[in-house]
């Protein structure tokens, strides 16, 4: 499970969903893995406002990852202004087939260091095995081979 996904989930119990303590879920005995992935600047820009920054910082701290800045970067921080008028061809954007849209304008903007760091944390750092613990009820959700299981036993439904 990627840290972005972890940032999107709370405890699945109905009685917990509204409680502040049920989010974020706290990783325990987590085995981390870096799975490299192509950087997708458009996606990062789109998704950034949906990330709960403080929760992400907490989780990174609990996992012993480098500390994130106090304040969430804004979308403009993700794209560097074009460095030189001579445009470099950014191959990763062009390859996607069957997609209309404004590829040209993206190719002019290279992802910034901030974008690369965020990409590493949110999309390449994954919990391969371990547990996710709800801070409100203490229930543990198992993560096995990267797949988290949010099914509940009948007495918690």
Q: 15-43 in b/e burial notation, b at 16+ Cβ within 10 A?
A: ebeeeeebbbbbbeebeeeeeeeebbbee
Contact at 8 Å (CB) between 131 and 142?
yes
Indicate which single residue of 32, 107, 110, 150 sits in contact with another protein (rule: CB under 8 A): 150
Indicate which single residue of 48, 56, 78, 123 sits in contact with another protein (rule: CB under 8 A): 123
SS3 32: strand
Least distance (Å) from another protein to the CB of residue 17? 6
Residue corresponding to tokens 């099914």: 151
30 is a site residue for another protein (CB under 8 A): no
Distance CA 109, CA 77 (A): 11
61 is a site residue for another protein (CB under 8 A): no
Distance CA 12, CA 134 (A): 9
Contact at 8 Å (CB) between 40 and 46?
no
Rg (CA), the chain: 18
Piece of the chain touching another protein by CB under 8 A; list 42-50, 62-70, 71-79, 108-116? 42-50
Least distance (Å) from another protein to the CB of residue 8? 6
Piece of the chain touching another protein by CB under 8 A; list 6-14, 59-67, 81-89, 109-117? 6-14
Q: Which is nearer to another protein, 84 or 95 (CB)?
A: 95
Piece of the chain touching another protein by CB under 8 A; list 58-66, 73-81, 82-90, 94-102? 94-102
Residues that bind another protein (CB under 8 A): 1-2, 4-5, 8-14, 17, 23, 37-38, 40, 42-43, 45-47, 50, 52, 96, 98-101, 123, 140-141, 145-157
């Amino acid at each position: 499970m990627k840290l972005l996904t972890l940032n999107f989930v709370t405890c699945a119990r109905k009685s917990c969903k509204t409680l502040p303590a049920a989010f974020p879920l706290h990783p325990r005995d987590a085995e981390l893995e870096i799975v490299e992935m192509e950087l997708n600047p458009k996606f990062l820009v789109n998704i950034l406002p949906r990330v709960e920054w403080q929760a992400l910082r907490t989780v990174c701290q609990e996992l012993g990852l480098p500390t994130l800045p106090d304040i969430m970067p804004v979308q403009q921080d993700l794209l560097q202004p074009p460095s030189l008028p001579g445009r470099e061809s950014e191959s990763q954007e062009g390859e996607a087939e069957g997609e209309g849209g404004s590829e040209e304008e993206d190719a002019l903007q290279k992802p910034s260091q901030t974008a690369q760091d965020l990409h590493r944390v949110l999309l390449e750092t994954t919990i391969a095995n371990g547990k996710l613990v709800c801070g409100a009820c203490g229930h543990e959700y198992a993560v096995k081979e990267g797949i988290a299981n949010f099914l509940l036993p009948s007495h918690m439904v």
